[in-house]
Structure 1
């Protein structure tokens, strides 16, 4: 069982675990499975995602669905604002959960912005714009679910609903390449583990659990 109390008797700081990858890589499924597994080991866990369900995140989602037309630079800036609110919001901010000893498992964080917004505004812009967030919090562990763009598109094509702006092969391929660049840039500062996202959800979940057990 995971010890949730520090040696001094106060709650230990929670751990911030992020799952990353292309759309359809299975992040949402694996976030839920990882959280459930951590709870069986004695952790208190909060599950979250970016963009958030808050007002800024909702605007981003509406833009992706084509309901609110926004310039790429505006979208990139909104992600920065949504992320800072995600961390600091007095009601459900990530930093608050961590301070109370609650582990946080997030579907996406800064690495996603580097992958998805760099093609529109440049990676250096994204890096500098997210410095406020990274100074506030870096993940204790990032798990990158590696799924080739063509495989991601096949999965997306089986889904129902309105596709968002990134659900086409060209943009997925560019995001995949930018993920590789971003991981190379951040690997000295952040603990990033690459896991194959192919196979059944159970197989991927086992790989995720093994990575968490080995790194934290």
Structure 2
């Protein structure tokens, strides 16, 4: 992260990689203020609401599903979108990693009544199961170099036609850190969760 921020033109580079639906609302002044949690952290370090972390190998290193236990809400990050195709990038072996992540997500779906993806619409119950099956089928098509019949490819939602091109032209995207920041910032804002503010000597307030 420090290497990225040391580049005088980093904002232009990050802005260029933002997806169309995030470009206008992205708070680049907050870029780099979210610090990664230690490996194998199982719960977000606040008391209420209790948020369990289910780390998985999909899309980018350190990605995770969040389960807000009292609310029975799952935050899926960049998995199970109803507007994006599955994001098979930024891991050592995305074809093998994606089914592992979907399996971990499926393992906690019984503890949630609603699933919120990083991009797209909230889904519930049978919609979640169907979404997992569709994404698994997409991965198998990719494994076999077959043309996918995934709905996001053959019948994208209006305004999201560009996303289906990710299947054919993958990926010219922003760095993984930019995507993780955008995802987590968006979810925190949607949940209206206050961030703890810390101040280091000689620095202004910044969220931790």
When normalised by structure 2's length, the TM-score is 0.26
Q: Flag the structure with more relative contact order, 1 or 2, with Cα contacts below 8 A and sequence separation at least 6.
A: 1
Which is helix-richer, 1 or 2? 1
When normalised by structure 1's length, the TM-score is 0.25
